[in-house]
Structure 1
Amino acid sequence: MKVLGYSAPSASGALEPFVFERRAARPDDVVIDILYCGVCHTDLHLARNHFGFTSYPIVPGHEIIGKVRQVGEKVSRFKAGDMVGVGCLVDSCQHCKPCLKGWEQDCAEGATFTYASRDRHDGTVTHGGYSDSIVVRDRFVLALPDGLDPAGAAPLLCAGITTWSPLHRWNVREGSKVAVVGLGGLGHMALKLAKALGADVTLFTRSTGKDEDAFRLGADHVVLSSDPAQMAAVAGRFDMIIDTVPYDHDVNPYLPTLALEGVLVLIGYMGPLGTSVNAGGVVHGRKAISGSFIGGVAETQQMLDFCGQHGIVSDVEIIPIQQINQAYERMLKSDVKYRFVIDMASLKS
């Protein structure tokens, strides 16, 4: 079926209207009319070929909220009219060890991502949520809880699960002491979710003036990480530090603030760390540095259900699709609180 969307035609070209073909629905597929799509830093990185492997044209978008238009004959979980979500994944092998554990994002045969990936059945390139509709295997479609604002819920499909997964894995609960490094799209969700889980929550920031927003979003404390006295005052405090910084940075200053057997989890940066980690900062106190990459499908549904119970959505600025190029420029300047979301009804204009 023909679909209208917005694509990047090249690494330097502005995103522009693009008509393309979606595959015909298979028996286990769900056809979804897209209502809202979040704008993630990954969209910008891939559109501008920052990772060096983008093929063009590319239709970004993996924070999708929409309404089911139709379902395949083998689909029983959804029906026409249901409000649903689609995140970063649209398929995986379903039989390897990671998939059987519910970690489809780490599929040993390679996960099929929502865009800039290859459909494992017909080899066609997947295109994302900057479009009016999408066709997705039912196992990778998520139910949107009643009462959640659909625009605010869109970024939960990436920023939400990326921060939820480590909180869940390390059993953050009432009484846990959690710190979050950085206050952006990921950081603001980490504050909200950790607080709702009952943790005592601290924001680490290098910038002054973040206190008001941090407290509103769920922080109990704010620590200026460039102030040695403030850092010394929280030595040995945190069970977990969630590091959302999306660029190379020195993690060593945070290690002394971990408690015995505490863990620092990297979720924002996937490249080489330019400053070597001082092993002594990990060895003493049985501390750990770990990483986490989005989350599996069941875990994402668990996160959505938790957000539904607690009324948690992202703080968003809603834009028409025609402003996507300006949004990318603003995102590079951190000029958004805290996530852009596209109202896909604007495609009609």
Structure 2
Amino acid sequence: MERPIFKPVGTPVEQLDTPALVVDLATLERNIDTLHAFFRQCDARVRPYVEAHLCPAIAHKQLAAGGTVGGIGVGTVSQAEVFAKYGFTDIFVVNEIVTPQKIARLCALAHHTKITVAVDQPQNIEDLSAAAGMHGVRLHVAVDVCTRGNGCGVEPGQPAVDLAKVVSRAPHLAFAGLMTRDGPTPTEDPGQLSGESRPWIQRVLDTRAMLEQAGIMVPMVSAGGTYNYEIAGAMAGVTEVRAGTYALMDYRHVASRPQFKPAARVMATVTSRPEPGTAIVDAGQKAIGSDTGLPVAEDIAGASVVSLSAEHGRLRLAEEAQTRVALGDKLWLTPWDIGTCVNLYDYIHAVRHGKLEVVWDVAARGTYR
């Protein structure tokens, strides 16, 4: 881990060392309130999916905003371990956990935390049951329903019903309900969004009805996310929506979800002006990521990021931007994908009115296992 370089609270943001991951608190809080206000007024609740930011401080803000199930969602066992240390007592590992080592770690967490885990194979259910019995705990198990045929999960309908029956009969396991991770294609067209979302969510709800007709209660139906939370949350029978990106947002999805604004940006310094139409900054792939798209320089008209090397970003400057970018200037880059970007940092600098208010640990950074 790189030695942190912290400035005192109250430091103007432009005086922070770069590259720096900076979160505007007012924007973050507005994003959180926008989504949570919806869930404070409907039957469904939100389960913040914290893999989007990996930061316990942000997760605590999300739960404090109300309208939640009282717990969080994570992507890995190691993320669950980190967030459990920070006081979270209801954690849904939205993944299939199959190796003996990882299952044992789940069971260790279950001694003091409500742990829910996804399954899509009978053998996995048997292994979870045996381990839970050996450790003297009870694991909550959700059947992962694949509604679009493009990932993990069992087919909706009878295959999912049959698997849920296996869970309900297994000792040391509690049938938590049904989940799906399929999401719609991000779009600015509300009709397309609804047209893609409703059918696949309905397949899960139809499966729930089949289970209840068979005498098996389904406490949870977990579906939807940031990009269709209003649709999923309004469908009768959906009990929770796992949303994550909304808190910090990113440029990739801001057009399709304009009610949320990017709260996290990378501040970089101009380190070279090799020619009038080019600027080089000290934020490259290691500072912002580029796997799914390049960051965007929003604040200067005519400036665009054209490439990233390991340590540098290259910006093309149109004529109107060339006199506005000088050596040593600070530039703001909005990440294309916020999850990739946050995972590159140990700390978040949280600012309000342009001044540093607090430094947060990205405590679950690099927790892949």
TM-score normalised by length of structure 2? 0.30
TM-score normalised by length of structure 1? 0.32
Question: Could you say which structure has the greater relative contact order, defined with CA pairs below 8 angstroms and 6 or more residues apart?
Answer: 2
- Larger Rg, first or second structure (1 or 2): 2
